[in-house]
Amino acid sequence: MIKATVLNKEKDFLEIQFNGMDEGLANLLVEKLSASKTDFAAYSLEHPLTGNPIVRIKASSPKEELVTALKAIEKEASEAIAGLSDKKK
């Protein structure tokens, strides 16, 4: 399970640490954010094996952009699962 901890929240900036998220998912999240209405999206990781990504988002509504990006990832994952299920038949 992934746990999100808000480290810094301002009107147009959000910094969140995701405990339990790996670097691959953090990279995908930043990719989705960068393709949206964000001014800036990036993550940092203290150590690739033991660290928890810290995602930084600068946008007019960073929380909304984050939720939209996470929902897009969820939708793509659901479609991939459904595609696998169809192949079983």
- What is the mean pLDDT for each group of 10 consecutive residues in the chain (89 residues)? 95 96 93 95 88 95 96 94 75
Q: Considering the domain 3-88 in this protein, what is its CATH number?
A: 3.30.1360.10
> What is residue 89's predicted lDDT score, i.e. its pLDDT?
52
> CA-to-CA distance for 43 and 32, rounded, in angstroms?
12
46-70 pLDDT, tens digit each: 887 778 999 999 999 999 999 999 9
Report yes or no: 59 and 69 within 8 Å, Cβ to Cβ.
no
> What is residue 88's predicted lDDT score, i.e. its pLDDT?
54
Report yes or no: 30 and 16 within 8 Å, Cβ to Cβ.
no
Strand-pairing partners, residue 41, are 57
| Domain residue extents for the chain | 3-88
> CA-to-CA distance for 49 and 38, rounded, in angstroms?
28
> What is residue 48's predicted lDDT score, i.e. its pLDDT?
75
> What is residue 52's predicted lDDT score, i.e. its pLDDT?
93
